[in-house]
Amino acid sequence: MSDLPGIYDFFDEGGILSKAFDGFEFRDGQLQMSLLVQKAYEENAIAVIEAGTGIGKSFAYLVPALINSRKHDEIEKTVIATATKNLQLQLSSKDIPQLFDASGESCNVCVLFGRSNYICIRRLEEILRSDPLFSDDQDTEIGKLKHFASETETGLFQDIHFRISEELISSCSSDPDFCYGGKCPYMRECFYFKAKRAATRADIIITNHHLLFTDAASRMESGCEYSSDGGVLPAFSRLVIDEAHNIEQNATDLFSGVYSGYNVSRQMNHILANRYGKNESMLDTLGRFCTDDTSVPAIKEQANSLKIKMSTLDVFLSSLLQDRKLTSLLIQDPKSEGLAPFYPVAEEVVKQASVLVSMMKDFAKNLKYSEDDELFVDGFTSLVSRVNSAFATLEQFTDKDHWTDDVHFIRATRVKKELVFEICISPVSIADKMRQSIFAKLKTVICTSATLNLNDDFAYWSSRVGLPATDRQVLKLTVQSPFDYEHYLLLLTPSDAPEFKESESEAFTAYVASATLEAISSSGGGALVLFTSYKMMQDVYARIHLDIEKQKINTMIQGTLGRFQLLKDFKEDADSVLFATSSFWEGIDAPGNTLRLVIIVKLPFQAPTEPILKARVRRIEEEGGSGFFQLSLPDATMKLKQGFGRLIRNKTDKGIVLILDSRVITKNYGQYMLHALPPSYNPETDTKGISDKIENFLFSGGR
């Protein structure tokens, strides 16, 4: 094969990309970004790059990765980690094929998802054999899944285009505790291991933050170097982290320990509840191999006793939060009087769990089974270990004499409308872990996003993720968006908007409802309304959605459908309105007239009572800093940039961002936040002037 072209050959005017794509425009920022990425490859450096919307950052890092793939060295492979599946799929199904087609060059590329995303053929076959009548009926979900599994190349649940229950997914997903490994008769066809084998052969692996940090944590714990295939991911030495503004949050989630009675019960049910398509549990089936008839009833009795204790603990946690009118509580003093009743209850749960695990281990030891059933018994013992580890965080939490400086807290959250109580231990900082496990270990690390630099030379973001790292060169670049925000984006910040106060939340909600209805009526829909609170979102929606729908404008609200379906419906209806919260502040790409108005109801400050934030603020202030200016404000500003960036997605997009939080103009820090946004047209206005300005900007060609 001929020598691969260089960076300039791809990106320069008249180059490969301009010849391949109609309407391709030379973007100096894209060229500069790609040159810096290549420099990081050549000099074994770290690169931090903010690339504004429209730069084409995917091609900018994919081209150097493609060039590097020609070294034909197994450990020279590049891992590209994204925060969202959407970007994973965009890279694998759109960007990389386009790049290969344009250049006539290629390399081995693999997309790797978390294990539970893949169908386990063996587990599916067991279900099919247990109910052959339904499995042959393609009107049933199991019949549809059987047909899908016989046709699919990937075995990914996300490729299924029909409704499938979570119970069935859980019963036939790939799971290490149910994996027979080399003894499995379906090892060669296994979708997960096919993906793993492809990843080993690949030059570029496209994965997600969760798998990346899981791999990093496992290597750090085991001492396995990145030159070895002993991690979750194959050996690699080059890393691109896209959507890098999410690193701190995603790494914190991965390095956290969580106990919840809800999740533990789900783990126990794998052993104790009837299996999908069967009238008996795994424990009942194994009971046939046991000579002691009392073992199974005794285990069930102990499990029921444990569940009662777990329910008692949930009741205590509920009252602990309700008495304080909180949804989460940071525990700063493990020996505080308010927690005194907690420890006996929690310690009893740990004790009862230990008894149950011991009983199940003894049960497994005394089973008399044939060689054919050995793998089934191995699956049982793996599940027992998983149940045991599920209580590890609770046991660590109850050991109040040996607490570390990690963040210890309790929170209530909703899972499918059910209130679930969690006991959590999270790192107060992930900086050291990132330095030790990633920045100090890999030859090249590229971190890129549209929102990393807050006009501070990346100082805030770098401090949160562990940069600079000792003895590592850090290259930096900020590339402004090529879009003309000053002429195509109208920023409205009404001066008479009320300031949100908990004591006056009703007045603020009423104002938001009124102003939102007026703005949507003026734009004719095509709006995304972003909230920081589910409660306020639901309240405002209830007040105005019927008035909006009377204007023949379709309304949608987060929680009624899955994220993917909501976004699909929103983009297909150019005049629709979507009411949404936190997860919709980023990752929405709706170019054109579909999205012409973004309403930001409140500045996205985290609640000061949020436990991890509160602990991190306290750490900063103990060291003599300002928790607000060093953490809360830049964190909110970065999220505001994400919400702001939903609007202009191509050169012809035009629209309005309306911020209904007066703090952005009445507080001194408001200018800091506005200054971090791309420069746009921001005329003085009050609420009465919103409607005219929207209509004039969108429909009369005026500014």
Per-residue pLDDT tens over the stretch 93-107: 999 999 999 999 899
- 60 vs 643, higher pLDDT: 60
Q: What is the pLDDT of residue 509?
A: 95
Integer Cα distance of 198 and 109 in angstroms: 8
Residue 562 CB coordination number (10 Å): 10
Is residue 36 situated within a structural domain?
A: yes
Do 247 and 299 lie in one domain? The reply is: no
- Domain count across the chain: 4
| Angular region, 45: left φ>0, alpha ψ -120 to 50, beta rest | beta
- Among 411, 426, 441, the domain boundary falls at 426
Task: Specify burial of residue 120 (Cβ count, 10 A radius: 0-12, 13-18, 19+).
Answer: buried
Q: What is the pLDDT of residue 357?
A: 95
- Mean pLDDT, the chain, whole residue set: 91
Q: What number of CA atoms fall less than 13 Å from residue 67's CA on the CB side?
A: 21
Supply the pTM of this predicted model: 0.92
State percent of the chain over pLDDT 90: 68
Model confidence pLDDT, tens digit, residues 145-157: 999 999 999 999 9
Do 404 and 288 lie in one domain? The reply is: yes
Q: What is the pLDDT of residue 350?
A: 96
Residue 567 has pLDDT above 90, yes or no: no
Ranges 229-233, 291-295, 520-524, 584-588: which has the least confidence: 584-588
> Nearest Cα to 272, choosing from 324, 307, 225, 240?
307
Is residue 582 situated within a structural domain?
A: yes
Model confidence pLDDT, tens digit, residues 203-260: 999 999 999 999 999 999 899 999 998 889 999 999 999 999 999 999 999 999 999 9
Taking CA atoms, 525 is separated from 559, 571, 578, 640, in Å, by 20, 12, 9, 22
Q: Say if residues 661 and 637 touch (Cβ distance below 8 Å).
A: no
Q: Say if residues 440 and 472 touch (Cβ distance below 8 Å).
A: yes
Task: Measure CA of the first residue to CA of the last residue in the chain; give whole Å.
Answer: 54
Q: What is the pLDDT of residue 1?
A: 44
Residue 585 has pLDDT above 60, yes or no: yes
Residue 73 has pLDDT above 80, yes or no: no
Do 559 and 676 lie in one domain? The reply is: yes
Residue 158 has pLDDT above 90, yes or no: no
Do 103 and 215 lie in one domain? The reply is: yes
Do 284 and 371 lie in one domain? The reply is: yes
Contacts of 485 (CB under 8 A, 6+ apart): 648, 678, 679, 680
Residue 263 has pLDDT above 80, yes or no: yes
Residue 372 has pLDDT above 80, yes or no: no
Is residue 411 situated within a structural domain?
A: yes
- Collapsing DSSP to helix, strand or coil, 577 comes out as strand
Do 87 and 41 lie in one domain? The reply is: yes
- 499 vs 306, higher pLDDT: 306
Is residue 1 situated within a structural domain?
A: no
DSSP assignment, residue 67?
A: H
Element housing 238 (H / E): strand 238-241
Do 244 and 182 lie in one domain? The reply is: no
Residue 609 has pLDDT above 80, yes or no: yes
Taking CA atoms, 574 is separated from 152, 525, 554, 648, 694, in Å, by 33, 8, 10, 15, 17
Is residue 501 situated within a structural domain?
A: yes
Do 376 and 308 lie in one domain? The reply is: yes
Domain enclosing residue 435, as ranges: 7-108+202-252+429-479
Contacts of 2 (CB under 8 A, 6+ apart): none
Do 584 and 688 lie in one domain? The reply is: yes
Do 87 and 128 lie in one domain? The reply is: no
DSSP assignment, residue 519?
A: H
Residue 702 has pLDDT above 60, yes or no: no
- Among 383, 398, 426, the domain boundary falls at 426
- 183 vs 412, higher pLDDT: 412
- 158 vs 43, higher pLDDT: 43
Q: What is the pLDDT of residue 134?
A: 64
- Among 441, 458, 479, the domain boundary falls at 479
Do 438 and 518 lie in one domain? The reply is: no
Do 519 and 471 lie in one domain? The reply is: no
Tokens of 123: 């587990």
Is residue 298 situated within a structural domain?
A: yes
Is residue 2 situated within a structural domain?
A: no
Q: What number of CA atoms fall less than 13 Å from residue 399's CA on the CB side?
A: 12
Lateral strand order in the sheet of 109-111: 109-111, 204-208, 78-82, 238-241, 444-449, 46-51, 474-479
CATH number at residue 19: 3.40.50.300
Integer Cα distance of 391 and 386 in angstroms: 9
